[in-house]
Structure 1
Amino acid sequence: MLRVFTDGCEQDRLSVGDRGLHYGDGLFETILIRDGMPCLWNRHLARLALGADRLGLAQPSRSILREEAARICAGLDDGLLKLIVTRGVGGRGYRPPASPHPRRILLSYASSPSPDPSAQGGVVIRYCATPASVNRRLAGIKHLNRLDAVLARQEWDDPQIAEGLMCDDAGDVVGGTMTNLFVWDGVALATPAVTRSGLAGTVRSVALESAARAGIACVERPITRRMIEESVGLFLTNARIGVWPVVRLEEQSFDPERLPVDLLHQIRQAAQTPEWPDP
């Protein structure tokens, strides 16, 4: 079941002059819903605020977003909430209008099947040929320009492959088409920095904080293929899946039991626990 709210009204129509359609001039968040409530709401709103600041875009009122999120998720036990904010309608050309009227769009989806890593102990992934976009102004935020991920996701149709890793122009691994990557060497974790490219995922931030509480070092740094080849294990995170241990990357196999499994459980539990958003 799909429901759509546009500026607070239950409708799925959008002006053809909207800058989100013309230029990808906007932001979005994908939020897990459990028991009719959002997970990691405050983290998603914090990243939305960061993106709005980067784009010079007025962020909608948190209270309005909270009220509309509660309305659209009413009766939805488990699913996803997609929150989109665009700069609204503007004239022809890249220059934003002097007095924009940002538009907010909320979409709720019932749960859809996703790969179950417990079925085989982990997921199978691959490398993508499509490079990840590099732009320091856009790195970390969830803007509407995702064509690099779209092109990368077109590279395979094997249902056994859950995700593809993307590299930047220097050949360093940025993350997956829709996930953040963590590399375990048996003692410490490393995850790609998101200063040049990639996404500052909400569950990524949960993982960083959970590792710190557990006394496990986690370094944000460039990740090379060589580091992955020499690693003990890998796992992926995002808001929809929580945590995916990796069982195989291309021809390289991994034993998920060698990962810090207690930490992964803590991350998954924190990422998928519903809570009412702050007023």
Structure 2
Amino acid sequence: MQTIIAANETSSISTRDRGLNYGDGFFTTAIITDGQVEHWAYHKARLIECAQRLGFPALEFTALESHITQQVASQAQAVVKIVVTRGEGGRGYASPSECNLNIIVSVLPYPKHYNSLPDTGISLAISPIKLAVQPHLAGLKTLNRLEQVLIKNALQAQHTDDALVLDCNNNVIETSAANIFAIKNNKVFSPRLDECGIKGVFLQSLCDKLAVEFKTVSVDDLTQADAVFLCNSLMKIVPVKSIGEHYFDIVHSQSLLNELLAKEA
């Protein structure tokens, strides 16, 4: 069973909910444009994969999709966030034998400053917080986001737009809230996400348009690239203008990407 909760001033959730107590759940965040959820097929696939890999019951999408359609129909540009928890029950960490999932649907304002990022680019520092390796959770967008909280807290003292996040082996994984990819000699590459990190919906959609090689990536690989970009469902594709003291020409970066996209079209 599942219960859909529309997030508003009067909505509530039990203090015994496993998502609150243990981070036992997952979520996805999508942009709404003219009453439609962009890349919904990918977001739906993410929710299905998370449920399967975390041992959740299968989600009932007919009711969920109907609810989302009603909530976003009047929105010209906004954000929808879908949070799924295992609900209440179980003894301690152990999951209940039967779950009544809670699905919380929030419609939020779109961050307007994202619209200017493709023109201004983003500066990156290297975060002092490193991601732990956990293959069982790698790629999933679970409710366990304390690493990202620490990364954002550390970023306040770094005076850059975002932070490049490494794993405990000093491999590049992502930034605080986006995937990263680069172009070198007209080839696109992005960090492997089989040990930690989040497999972003927008990056997956980009793989339908470009041949992307997923491999082990170092900071030097990025600084020696011809162009570097961030991407996620809300900001889409944004050029990186600097990593530490290394700078990129973002006009040139955009030109390289546009040429590759045109070639693959």
TM-score by length of 1: 0.86
What are the Cα deviations for residues 100-157 of structure 1, in whole angstroms up to 9, with x where unaligned? 111111000122233422443x111211010113111100111110111110011123
Pair 1:231-2:225 in alignment: yes
SS in 2 for 1:88: coil
State the alpha-carbon separation in 1 of the partners of residues 67 and 260 from structure 2.
32
Q: 1:8 to 1:24 in 2, by over 3 A?
A: closer
1:167 match: 166
How far apart are residue 70 of structure 1 and its match?
0.9
State the alpha-carbon separation in 1 of the partners of residues 137 and 161 from structure 2.
26
State the alpha-carbon separation in 1 of the partners of residues 135 and 96 from structure 2.
24
How far apart are residue 24 of structure 1 and its match?
0.4
Tell me whether 237-246 or 86-95 shows the greater mean CA deviation: 86-95
Tell me whether 49-58 or 249-258 shows the greater mean CA deviation: 249-258
Q: Which amino acid is the alignment partner of residue 7 of structure 1?
A: I
How far apart are residue 169 of structure 1 and its match?
1.1
Paired residues of 2:89 and 2:95 also in contact (CA < 8 A): yes
Pair 1:243-2:242 in alignment: no
How far apart are residue 168 of structure 1 and its match?
0.5
Paired residues of 1:186 and 1:258 also in contact (CA < 8 A): no
Structure 2: gaps spanning 5 or more residues: none
Pair 1:262-2:258 in alignment: yes
SS in 2 for 1:181: strand
1:95 match: 94
Paired residues of 1:60 and 1:104 also in contact (CA < 8 A): no
2:117 match: 117
Q: 1:265 to 1:95 in 2, by over 3 A?
A: same
Structure 1: gaps spanning 5 or more residues: 1-5, 213-217, 267-279
Q: Which amino acid is the alignment partner of residue 25 of structure 1?
A: D
How much is the aligned-residue C-alpha RMSD, in angstroms?
A: 1.9
2:105 match: 106
Paired residues of 2:5 and 2:102 also in contact (CA < 8 A): no
Paired residues of 1:211 and 1:263 also in contact (CA < 8 A): no
Count of paired positions: 255
What are the Cα deviations for residues 79-117 of structure 1, in whole angstroms up to 9, with x where unaligned? 100001100012441000111111111000122233422
Q: Which amino acid is the alignment partner of residue 113 of structure 1?
A: K
Q: Which amino acid is the alignment partner of residue 157 of structure 1?
A: Q
